[in-house]
Amino acid sequence: MSRFRGLWQASVTATKRALAWNVEDMMPTSEKCIFNFNSKEEINKWHLYSDSEYGGLSSASLEIADSASGLTGIFSGNLSTELAGDSRWKINRSGFCGMRSKKFNGFIDLDAYDTISMRLRGDGRCYISTVYTENWVNSPAQQEDNSWQAFLIVPKGHWHTVKVPLSRYLPTWRGNVIDVNLEMNPSRIVGMSLSVNAEGGVPGAQTGPGDFRLEIDWIKGLRTL
């Protein structure tokens, strides 16, 4: 009987350990790295855009730099509110540049996370963080990704970790906030972008045409709740 009890207790103990291991294994980590700007391969996951595609004169670049923090990405350029004299485009405004990630192979699933975190070193300008999710309209006539945007305030001259709750990202349509009752689906993220405008932003941020520079170390999803 004592031998049976010993085997039974050993079995119960082993089962408890297995269950504990399985539960811990299923729990998401506290953070998930989405982008790490530490190599040319990582930089190649992004493409640039600006008003120059529509007759504007702004320009941008994305390069790798070796700093005291190691290899980081530098998104920089010049914002111009002027239009080319021979432009055939009619746009409402110029003075914008951005960098957008290329299409993921599948989706980034951030359903277990509630915050986007970025380690940045800015220049006093206001930047815009955009999260793109799979379109909720299943129609050939409407194939653009859903976009959700939040302003980033990055102090000038030193590294700063910006944390933006996903709940603060507002639904937008071509850069304008739309008044709809929608919730982001963080399990179906198809891309991200960072952009900057010559005008607008938040009070106190540097505005106007001229140079911009944003240094980027990484972008992560955080679980804070």
Host domain of residue 109: 29-222
Lowest mean pLDDT among 31-35, 53-57, 141-145, 208-212: 141-145
Q: Please answer whether residues 148 and 136 qualify as being in contact, where contact means their C-beta atoms are separated by less than 8 angstroms.
A: no
pLDDT at residue 225 greater than cutoff 90? no
Measured between alpha carbons, how far is 167 from 152 in angstroms, rounded to an integer? 14
- What is residue 212's predicted lDDT score, i.e. its pLDDT? 97
Cα–Cα nearest to 96, from 196, 7, 179: 196
C-beta atoms surrounding 195 within 10 Å: 19
CB under 8 Å to 216, separation ≥6 — which residues? 37, 72, 73, 74, 75, 118, 119, 120, 194
Q: How confident is the model at residue 144 (pLDDT cuts 50, 70, 90)?
A: confident
Q: How confident is the model at residue 117 (pLDDT cuts 50, 70, 90)?
A: very high
Residue 119 placed within a domain: yes
As a whole-number percent, the residues of the chain with pLDDT over 70 amount to 80
Structure confidence by residue, pLDDT tens digits, 6-54: 444 544 454 444 444 444 445 668 999 999 999 999 999 999 999 998 8
* Chain position carrying tokens 């001259």: 157
Residue 167 placed within a domain: yes
Residue 197 placed within a domain: yes
**pTM given for the model:** 0.82
Where does residue 12 fall: left (phi above 0), alpha (psi -120 to 50 degrees), or beta otherwise?
A: alpha
Q: How many folded domains does the chain comprise?
A: 1
Query: Any idea what the CATH number is for the domain that residue 151 is in?
Result: 2.60.120.430
Residue 201 placed within a domain: yes
Residue 60 placed within a domain: yes
Where does residue 106 fall: left (phi above 0), alpha (psi -120 to 50 degrees), or beta otherwise?
A: left
Structure confidence by residue, pLDDT tens digits, 60-92: 999 999 877 689 999 999 999 988 877 666 666
- What is residue 92's predicted lDDT score, i.e. its pLDDT? 67
Q: What angle do CA 171, 210, 175 make, to 5 degrees?
A: 15
Measured between alpha carbons, how far is 47 from 51 in angstroms, rounded to an integer? 14
Residue 76 placed within a domain: yes
Local structure of 24: helix, strand or coil? helix
- What is residue 9's predicted lDDT score, i.e. its pLDDT? 52
- What is residue 161's predicted lDDT score, i.e. its pLDDT? 96
Residue 148 placed within a domain: yes
Token digits for 13?
Answer: 């103990």
- What is residue 68's predicted lDDT score, i.e. its pLDDT? 74
Lowest mean pLDDT among 45-49, 105-109, 124-128: 105-109
